[in-house]
Structure 1
Amino acid sequence: MASTSNEAPAVPPSLSLPPSQFARLQPHAYLLAHLSPPAATNQPSIRANGREPLQFRTTSANCGSLTHTNGSAVVRIGDTAAVCGVRAELLHTDDIASWSVARTSSASTNKRQRLAELGEDVTEEDNEDEDDQDRAHIEDLSLLVPNLSLSTGCAPGYLPGAPPSTTAQSISHEILSLLHSSRLVKADDLRIWYQPPNLGPEDEQMDVDEGAGKKAETEEQKPREIKAYWVLYIDIMIISLAGNPFDAAWASVVAALRDTKLPNAWWDVDNETVLCSDDVSEAHKLTLRGLPVASSFCVFEADAAAGWRAKPIPNAQQQKKDGKGRWILADPDGYEDNLAHERVSIVVDKEKNGKTVILKMEKVGGWTIDTEDLRRLVDVSSKRWDEMKQIFDQC
C-alpha cells in the first residue's frame, strides 16, 4: 500500500566556499581574483587586505617605552610589531688588544679639533678622513651589536624551545650591515676623551703677544686621549609577525637610536677609571647621520608555477609590457609574502635640499623587476620616507 509524505525534497549541497576557506585552500587563486577583477566591472586591482598595490599599512611608533634602557621604541606596521631597546656599556681601551696600533688613527681627529679651535676651515678631505675613521672604529671594535629574536607565539610557526631561526639571524646581519654602510651612528658620540694637562715649565716663559700665545699654547697642548668607548647593544624582538619583519625591525632601531641618551662620562685620573654622572640633564643624545627608511616590496605573478619553472613562459614579455600577469606589492603581509618569489628592499634617506639618496637596494629571486620598475619603487620609497619622518618626529 503506497504512502505519501509531506517532507520537502532534500536541497543539494552548495558547491561554493566562504572566502576564509577559499583563502586557505587556494591562496594563489584567492589573491589573483582580487588583483585581476573582471574587465566588465571596471574595478581597480585591490589586494585581499583591501590595500592598493603600492599602499603601505598603517604605521605607528612609540619611543621611551622601556625603562631600563638608554633608548627604546615600539614600531607597529599593520599587525607586525617590533620592540627595540638600546643598552650602553663601557669598553676601556686597556681591554682592547689592538689598541696600541689603532690609537695612531686618532691623529686625524685631533688635527680636525685643532683646526676648529683655531677658527680655520675644515676641508672636505678632513671630513672624509673622519668618516673613514668613524666607520673603522665602529666596525673593528664592534661598537654596535644588534640582535633580533622572534618571540614565542609571534606567528604560528614559532614554538617555545625552538632554536634561533634563520630569519632572525638573517635580519640581524642585515641590520648590522646597514648600520655600518649608512654610518648612522657617529663614533665621536661613543668616545670618552681625556685631555692631559700641560704642566711643562715653558708655559711660564711665554712672552709673546696674546694672539700668538694662544696659538703656541694650542700647538704645544698635549693631544687628547681616548680612554673608553660606549658599546651599544641593540636588542630587537618581533612580538607580532604578519609579514615584512625587516621594515618594522629597522624602523624600531632608528627610532630607538633617536631616543638613546648616554650619560656624561669622564676619565678619573686618581682612580684610573671612567666615572658617569647620575644627573639625567647632563646626558646627551646621539647625533645620527640622517634618517634611513626601509621599504620592502614583493612581486606576485599570475602564473602559479612562476616560482619553480625552469624556462620563462612564452608570452611573459608581452604580459609585462601590457602590465598584466604580475603585480608589485608594497609592504607585503604574511599572506602575500608566502606567495611571492621575488622581493625588493630599498633604503633611502633625504638630504636637506630634498634630494633622495639611495643607501641600499637589494633584489632577491625572480626576473621580472627591471630598471624602470626600480626607478618607480625609489619614488615610492621617497614618499614613504616623508611619511615615516612625520611619524618619527611625533615619537
Structure 2
Amino acid sequence: MAAPAATAAPSVPPSLSLPPSQFARIQPHAYLLAHLSPPSASNQPSIRANGRAPSQFRVTSANAGSLTHTNGSAVVRIGDTAAVCGVRAELLHTEDIASWSVSQASSSNKRRRLADLGEKPTEEDEDEDPEDDRAHIEDLNLLVPNISLSTGCAPGFIPGAAPSALAQSLSHQILSLLHSTRLVRADDLRVWYQQPNLGPEEPERHNENEQMDVDAEQSATIEDKPREIKAFWVLHIDIMIISLAGNPFDAAWAAVLAALRDTKLPKAWWDVDNETIVCSDSVSDARKLSLRGLPVASSFGVFEADAAAGWRANVIPDATEQTQTGKKGSPERWILADPDGYEEGLIQERACIVVDKQKDGKTTIVKMEKNGGWTVDTEDLRQLVEISAQRWDEMKRILDQC
C-alpha cells in the first residue's frame, strides 16, 4: 500500500515591509519626517534619524600639534566629518612688494597730518591702527587659506579630478571670515627693524656748552627715524577634509581656529650686514599669535514637512505670499543644528551664525548668513543665536583642552 503523500506547508505571503536602511534610500524625505514627526499617541519626542535632537550638535573632538612639519596644526572631528589644518609661515620681504613704497608714503602723510595737528601717535597706536591692520593683511594677502577634499573622503570625489566647486566655495568662506573677524593681528606678522642708537661721535671737546649742543642735535636726528617694516610673515593655511559626512564648513573653521591657536612664529630680525632676514633656531624664542577672540561658527538647516514646498514657492506666485504673510499657515518645519550628509540632501534653507563672547560673558554676533529660503524669521534667528552661544562654550572647552 502506498504511503500517503506529505501535505505541503502553506506558503507564507512575502512581507511588504522594508528594512530601515532601504526605506531611507528609497524615501529619504518620508524617512526623516517619520522620525521628526512621530504619532501623537506614541508620546515620543521629535528625534532625527541619527538619534539627535533638532538642536543637538554631533560629538566634537580636537587635537592640536599633530603635524611636525608646520608652524601650527590641528585635527578636528565633528561626528564623521574630519578636517586637518596645517599652518605654514613664509617670509615676504617688503622690497618684493611692488606697492610698498606707495603705502609707506600714505602712512608718512598720515603721520605728517597728525604732527601738524600737534598729535603724535605712540607705537601701540600705530601697531593697532585698524586701517593699516586691514590693508596689510587683506591687500598684501598675508592669510592664504586653501581647502582640498581628499580622495576617499566621500564617494563623489575621485583621484585626479579638478578642485570642486565645494572646495573653492569653502576656501572663499574661510578667507572672508578671517578678514571680517580680524582674527589675526597684523603686528604679529610684521618683522621690524629699529636703527640702533649709536650716540654722538666723540668730537673734540672745547667746552661743555658745545658738547650739549651736539647731543641735542643727535637726539633729534634719532627721533626722526621711526621703526621700519622689513618683512611680513605670510600664513599658508592648508585644510584637508579627510572625511566628509555633512557640514564641512564648521569642521574646517574649527580646525583653522585650533591650528592658529597652536601656531608659533620664529623670532626674526633684520641683519644689517647681510641685508636679509635672519630667524632664530631656538624653539624657546618662538612666539604664539595673539588672536582676537574666538569666533565659533554654527550651521543650521531647515527641513520642511512638505517636500515640494520649495518647488511650489517657485512655480506658484501665491505660495510665496502665503508663506511670508502666514495667512494660510506656514508648513511644518524643523531647524536642524549641524546637519549631516543625509540631512543636507533634504534641506534647502541654510543659516550660519558666528558668535564670540567677551570677557564679561556678553555674546557678540560676528557674522550671520542665511540663504535658500525665507521660513526662518527674526524669532528663529534669536533662538539660533542662543544655541550658538551654548555651542561657543562647548567649543571653547574643547579647544582649550586640545
TM-score, length-scaled by structure 2: 0.88
Deviations 1:225-248, CA, capped at 9 Å, x for gaps: 000000000000000000000000
Question: Which residue of 383, 396, 399 corresponds with 1:376?
Answer: 383
1:290 is the counterpart of 2:293: yes
1:147-199 superposed Cα distances (whole Å, 9 cap, x missing partner)? 00100010111111111100000000000011001000000000000011345
1:50-61 alignment runs, 5 A limit: 50-61=51-62
Q: Does 1:303 align with 2:306?
A: yes
After superposition, where does 1:140-219 map in structure 2 within 5 Å?
A: 140-199=139-198, 201=200, 207=212
Which region of structure 1 is more displaced relative to structure 2, 256-265 or 352-361? 352-361
Aligned to 2:351: 344
| Partner residue, 1:359 | 366
What residue number does 2:243 align with? Answer: 240
Structure 1 residue 139: deviation in Å? Answer: 0.5
Question: Aligned to 2:129, what secondary structure does the other structure show?
Answer: helix
Q: 1:203–1:14: structure 2 CA closer, same or farther, 3 Å change rule? A: farther
Q: Deviations over 1:355-393 (max 9, x none)?
A: 111111111101201111111101110110010000111
Matched residue, 2:42: 41
Give the C-alpha shift of residue 5 in structure 1.
3.6
Cα offsets for 1:194-214 (capped at 9, x unmatched)? 011345749987749xxx98x
- CA distance 1:381–1:218, shift in 2 (3 Å): farther
Look up the equivalent residue of 1:143 and give its one-letter code: L
With over 3 angstroms needed to count, the CA separation of the structure-2 counterparts of 1:270 and 1:238, relative to structure 1, is same
Shift of residue 104, structure 1, vs aligned partner: 3.3
Check 1:30–1:189 CA distance in 2 against 1; reply closer, same or farther (3 A cut).
same
Equivalent residues in 2 for 1:13-28, closer than 5 Å: 13-28=14-29
Alpha-carbon RMSD across the aligned residues, in angstroms, is: 3.0
1:93 aligns with 94
* Corresponding residue number in structure 2 for 1:77: 78
Corresponding residue of 2:252: 249
1:307 shift after superposition: 2.9
Structure 1 vs Structure 2: percent identity of aligned residues? 73
SS of 2:258 mapped into structure 1: helix
Give the whole-Å Cα distance in 2 for the aligned partners of 1:115 and 1:313: 56
Q: Which amino acid aligns with 1:16?
A: S
The AA in structure 2 aligned to 1:182 is T
Counterpart contact for 2:324–2:374, Cα < 8 Å: no
Distance 1:137 1:247 in 2: 27
Deviation for aligned residue 1:131: 1.7
Q: Secondary structure at the match of 1:308?
A: helix
What's 1:387 paired with? 394
Partner of 2:229: 226
- Please say which of residues 150-159 and 126-135 is displaced more in the overlay: 126-135
The answer to whether residue 114 in structure 2 is matched with residue 103 in structure 1 is no
Distance between the aligned counterparts of 2:385 and 2:156, measured in 1? Answer: 33
Q: Secondary structure at the match of 2:310?
A: coil
The alpha-carbon distance between structure 1 residues 127 and 54, as it changes in their structure 2 partners (threshold 3 A), is farther
Instruction: Judge conservation of contact 1:147–1:235 (CA < 8 Å) in 2.
Output: yes
Deviations 1:23-72 (A, max 9, x none): 01100000000000001111110000000000000001000000000000
Of 268, 281, 295, which residue of structure 1 is paired with 2:271?
Answer: 268
In structure 2, distance between residues paired with 1:283 and 1:233: 18
Q: Which 5+ residue runs of structure 2 have no aligned equivalent?
A: 115-119, 204-209
Task: Provide closer, same or farther for how the CA distance between residues 349 and 176 of structure 1 changes in structure 2, counting only shifts above 3 A.
Answer: same
Contact kept in structure 2, 1:61 and 1:75, CA below 8 Å: yes
For residues 100 and 203 of structure 1, the distance between their equivalents in structure 2, rounded to whole angstroms, comes to 35
**Aligned letter for 1:382?**
A
Q: Could you tell me whether the CA contact under 8 Å between 1:319 and 1:325 is conserved in 2?
A: no
Tell me, what secondary structure is at the counterpart of 2:98? coil
Distance in 2 of aligned mates of 1:51 and 1:293: 21
- Cα deviation, 1:94-142, whole Å, max 9, x if unaligned, reads 100011011235557999xx7557xxxx7xxx58971221111101100
Segments of 5+ residues of structure 1 without an aligned counterpart are none
Counterpart-to-counterpart distance in 1, 2:171 and 2:262: 20
Aligned twin of 1:326: 333
* Paired amino acid for 1:48: A
Residue 206 of structure 2 corresponds to none
Structure with higher Rg: it is 2
Equivalent residues, number? 383
Q: CA deviation at 1:306?
A: 2.0
Matched, 1:8 2:9: yes
Q: Is the 8 A contact 2:86 2:237 kept in 1?
A: yes
Q: In 2, are the aligned partners of 1:344 and 1:363 still within 8 Å (CA)?
A: yes
Measured in 2, the distance between the counterparts of 1:16 and 1:127 equals 72
